[in-house]
């Protein structure tokens, strides 16, 4: 099941990239990176189809980050794949409908560049910031604790349940010599996975309770945003705003 | 059905994020009040079940006679096991993980994705699945409820994708063509996903019925109690949305009756100024304060349509509510 292996490999490679390297981008405060990424995506999405020159300037931000943080280019290509079908569908639609052809072409190119930019921005964020640091920023932004807790627990158990699914899938294919689960077996297969997950959740709760869990997820001390980080964030926002205004 | 950032304008993305944040905030409030038996033991359950949905989506099944494959959506499954409010929070967490670590969806589109896949699934559970299984929790009812809830939930989600994309002005596809492309595809996906969801829930109902959220409620007879106030609020909000926003997308073409009249008489509106028809037309033209769903002076047609939609809905509610009130009073008097 390629999906299963790819998902596990993606989690692993992003964790390694975020934890094992230490570049200038890695060392930036996670809150700075989170806000800058959100701002970058909003500004990139606000460009009109005819303003391709401004969009091209925006490529500089992720490109510099990719080089400085030494992020492999294969990752961005792999991450672009889920976003491409919808983008292709809309771009092709605009190319056919919009007249004259040059305007349609501009719209089509703009959709593809925006797809690349928005996916790259999130890739830079997760490839240079570890999961714990991202979840800590959610707490800091006053996101409800129960949501933050779900975010953390879900992520931690994804790899566990992926390996559980992998074992079940291997057992299934070895017995039936087929590729993929048959539709008629899907109810029992997924139902069995659900029951195993349910039982595991019960054991997890018992283990957490034994370690003093009282419904609150506690994290390590927060590192404060330094003046240098605040100035850096303000500078980035100013540059992006100026480019956007000058693009019309 | 994960929407990417490229499909949205910042305004639409922002509005939908606010809407989804509202739905999530409401769910968090419900859980923190301990509603539906929620306590700290459910927290790991939600986390692990979220991971289950993620892993479940990785299992591709072969669709017979098509050569293609599909996977479960998981929204209804989560709601059926955890209940609607924990399911929405868990799905939102899964969607954020998918967006950040698997580039499935985008940060700007996060609110839209939570609404399209989370809120729509939970609404389908609450208003379709639950009322059906409430009568009797057997495999037949679970199958019917799952199929209907998954299909309608997906249709609602796909329609939301169409509206959000069109509201963003990214595509030049006309509303009708876009909807005609999206809805049938998701009908087919929904049917297959509905079959699989029904299979999973029927299996659990036989093997471990206590796992199902509805089963625990049903045994306590809590499910029979439907909050009338909540029902009124939900339908009130839906009415305002349909009246004010969706009415703008109403077709400008004549309806079936007008089309038929046009075919026979050559005009959609008959201009008879004599007899009873003339008297009625005269009364209607004097009393109609918003003719042709717009302001009487013809100014601002877009705002006019929305205002007409809301006022029309309110008048209908007042008349229908008044009749229901009179009938119930009369029945009450008869029973005394």
- Domain definitions of chain A by residue range: 2-139+224-246, 144-210
Mutate to test the interface with A, among B9, B20, B52, B73 (most CBs of A within 10 A): B52
Looking at beta carbons, which pairs linking A240-244 to residues 24 or more positions away fall under 8 Å? A240/A39, A240/A40, A240/A43, A240/A58, A240/A61, A241/A43, A243/A43, A243/A54, A243/A57, A243/A58, A244/A43, A244/A46, A244/A47, A244/A54
In the predicted model, is pLDDT for residue B249 greater than 60?
A: no
Residues B177 and B29 grouped into a single domain:
yes
Contact A86, A112 (CB under 8 A): no
Residues B317 and B219 grouped into a single domain:
no
Reading chain A (248 residues) residue by residue, the pLDDT tens digits are 566 777 777 778 888 888 877 888 888 899 999 999 999 999 998 888 777 888 888 888 889 998 998 888 888 888 888 778 778 888 888 888 777 777 888 888 888 888 889 999 999 999 999 888 888 888 888 888 888 888 888 888 888 888 888 888 888 888 888 777 888 888 888 888 888 888 888 888 888 888 887 767 666 656 778 888 899 999 999 999 998 888 87
CA B238 distance to own-chain centroid: 9
B239 found inside a domain: no
Bridge-based pairing of strands B61-62 and B69-70 is antiparallel
- Which two structure tokens, joined as six digits, stand for B85? 């409010």
Distance separating alpha carbons of residues B159 and A115, to the nearest angstrom: 22
Q: Residue B233: how many CB atoms within 10 A of its CB? A: 11
Distance separating alpha carbons of residues A127 and A25, to the nearest angstrom: 10
In angstroms, the separation between the Cα of residue A232 and the nearest Cα of chain B is: 22
N-term to C-term CA, chain B: 56
In angstroms, the separation between the Cα of residue B122 and the nearest Cα of chain A is: 17
Residues B44 and B91 grouped into a single domain:
yes
Q: Given an 8 Å threshold on Cβ–Cβ distance, is B49 in contact with A169?
A: no
User: Residue holding tokens 């996977």?
Assistant: B71
Q: What are phi and psi of A213, to 5 degrees?
A: -65, 130
Return the bridge partners of B62, or none: A182, B69
Residues B309 and B207 grouped into a single domain:
no
DSSP class of residue A212 equals T
Instruction: Provide the residue range defining the domain that includes B205.
Output: 5-224
Q: Find, among A111, A108, A139, A109, the residue nearest to A216 by Cα.
A: A139
B194 found inside a domain: yes
B102 found inside a domain: yes
Residues B14 and B100 grouped into a single domain:
yes
Residues B164 and B26 grouped into a single domain:
yes
Return the bridge partners of A182, or none: B62
Distance separating alpha carbons of residues B44 and A198, to the nearest angstrom: 10
Residues B220 and B301 grouped into a single domain:
no
Residues B185 and B56 grouped into a single domain:
yes
Residue of B nearest to A91 (CA): B171
Contacts of B15 in chain A (CB under 8 A): none
Distance separating alpha carbons of residues A40 and A125, to the nearest angstrom: 11
Rounded to 5, what percent of chain A is helix, strand, coil? 80, 0, 20
Contacts of A207 (CB under 8 A, 6+ apart): none
B232 found inside a domain: no
Distance separating alpha carbons of residues A192 and A203, to the nearest angstrom: 17
Q: Given an 8 Å threshold on Cβ–Cβ distance, is A191 in contact with B92?
A: no
Contacts of B51 in chain A (CB under 8 A): 153-158, 160-161, 197
Mutate to test the interface with B, among A34, A44, A83 (most CBs of B within 10 A): A83
B242 found inside a domain: no
Q: Given an 8 Å threshold on Cβ–Cβ distance, is A3 in contact with B60?
A: yes
Contact A216, A19 (CB under 8 A): no
CA A243 distance to own-chain centroid: 25
ipTM value: 0.86
Q: Determine the average pLDDT of the residues in B22-30.
A: 91
Residues B147 and B212 grouped into a single domain:
yes
- The string of pLDDT tens digits covering residues A138-160 is 888 888 888 888 888 888 888 88
Q: Find, among B148, B153, B82, B91, the residue nearest to B118 by Cα.
A: B91
Contacts of B41 in chain A (CB under 8 A): 205
In angstroms, the separation between the Cα of residue B40 and the nearest Cα of chain A is: 5
B235 found inside a domain: no
Distance separating alpha carbons of residues B176 and B174, to the nearest angstrom: 6
B257 found inside a domain: yes
Return the bridge partners of B69, or none: B62
Q: Is the peptide bond before A128 cis (omega within 30 degrees of 0)?
A: no
Closest in A111, A191, A208 to B207, CB measured? A191
For residue B71, give the H/E element and its range: none
Residues B73 and B171 grouped into a single domain:
yes
- Which two structure tokens, joined as six digits, stand for B168? 């963003």
**How many domains are contained in chain B?**
2
Q: Given an 8 Å threshold on Cβ–Cβ distance, is B101 in contact with A126?
A: yes
Which of B191, B224, B257 marks a domain boundary? Answer: B224
- The string of pLDDT tens digits covering residues A88-100 is 888 888 888 777 7
Q: What are phi and psi of A222, to 5 degrees?
A: -85, 140
């Amino acid at each position: 099941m390629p999906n299963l292996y790819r998902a596990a490999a993606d989690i692993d490679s992003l964790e390694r990239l975020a934890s094992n390297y230490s570049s200038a981008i890695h060392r930036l405060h996670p809150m700075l990176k989170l806000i800058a990424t959100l701002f970058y995506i909003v500004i990139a999405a606000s460009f009109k189809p005819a303003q391709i020159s401004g969009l091209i300037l925006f490529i500089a931000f992720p490109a510099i980050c990719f080089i400085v943080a030494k992020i492999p280019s294969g990752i961005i290509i792999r991450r672009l794949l889920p976003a491409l079908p919808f983008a292709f569908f809309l771009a092709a639609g605009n190319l056919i409908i919009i007249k004259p052809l040059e305007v349609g072409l501009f719209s089509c190119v703009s959709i593809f560049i925006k797809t690349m930019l928005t996916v790259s921005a999130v890739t830079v964020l997760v490839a240079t910031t570890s999961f714990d640091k991202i979840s800590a920023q959610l707490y800091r932004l006053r996101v409800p604790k129960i949501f933050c807790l779900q975010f953390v627990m879900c992520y931690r158990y994804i790899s566990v349940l992926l390996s559980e699914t992998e074992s079940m899938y291997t057992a299934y294919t070895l017995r039936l010599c087929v590729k993929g689960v048959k539709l008629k077996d899907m109810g029992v297969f997924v139902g069995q996975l659900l029951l195993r997950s349910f039982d595991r959740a019960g054991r997890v709760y018992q283990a957490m309770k034994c370690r003093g869990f009282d419904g609150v997820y506690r994290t390590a001390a927060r590192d404060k945003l330094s003046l240098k980080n605040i100035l850096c964030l303000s500078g980035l926002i100013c540059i992006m705003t100026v480019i956007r205004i000058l693009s019309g | 059905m994960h929407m990417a950032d490229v499909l949205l304008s910042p305004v639409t993305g922002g509005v939908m994020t606010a809407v989804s944040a509202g739905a999530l905030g409401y769910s968090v409030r419900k859980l923190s009040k301990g509603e539906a038996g929620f306590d700290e033991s459910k927290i790991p359950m939600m986390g692990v079940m979220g991971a289950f949905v993620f892993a479940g989506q990785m299992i591709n099944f072969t669709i017979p006679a098509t050569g293609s494959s599909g996977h479960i959506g998981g929204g209804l499954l989560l709601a059926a096991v955890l209940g609607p409010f924990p399911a929405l929070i868990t799905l939102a967490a899964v969607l954020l993980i998918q967006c950040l670590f698997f580039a499935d969806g985008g940060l700007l589109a996060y609110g839209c994705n939570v609404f399209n896949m989370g809120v729509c699934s939970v609404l389908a559970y609450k208003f379709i699945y639950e009322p059906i299984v409430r009568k009797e929790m057997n495999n037949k009812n679970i199958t019917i409820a799952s199929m209907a809830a998954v299909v309608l939930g997906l249709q609602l989600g796909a329609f939301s994708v169409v509206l959000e994309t069109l509201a963003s002005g990214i595509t030049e596809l006309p509303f009708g063509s876009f909807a005609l492309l999206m809805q049938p595809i998701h009908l087919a996906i929904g049917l297959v996903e509905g079959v699989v969801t029904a299979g999973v829930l029927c299996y659990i109902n036989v093997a471990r019925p206590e796992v199902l959220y509805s089963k625990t409620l049903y045994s306590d007879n809590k499910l029979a109690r439907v909050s009338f106030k909540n029902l009124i609020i939900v339908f009130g909000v839906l009415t305002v949305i349909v009246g004010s926003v969706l009415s703008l997308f109403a077709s400008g073409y004549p309806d079936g009756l007008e089309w038929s009249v046009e075919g026979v008489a050559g005009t959609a509106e008959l201009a008879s100024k004599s007899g009873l028809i003339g008297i009625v037309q005269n009364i209607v033209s004097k009393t109609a304060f918003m003719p042709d769903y717009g302001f009487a002076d013809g100014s601002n047609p877009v705002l006019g349509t929305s205002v007409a939609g809301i006022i029309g809905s309110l008048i209908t509610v007042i008349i229908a509510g008044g009749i229901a009130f009179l009938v119930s009073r009369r029945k009450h008097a008869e029973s005394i």
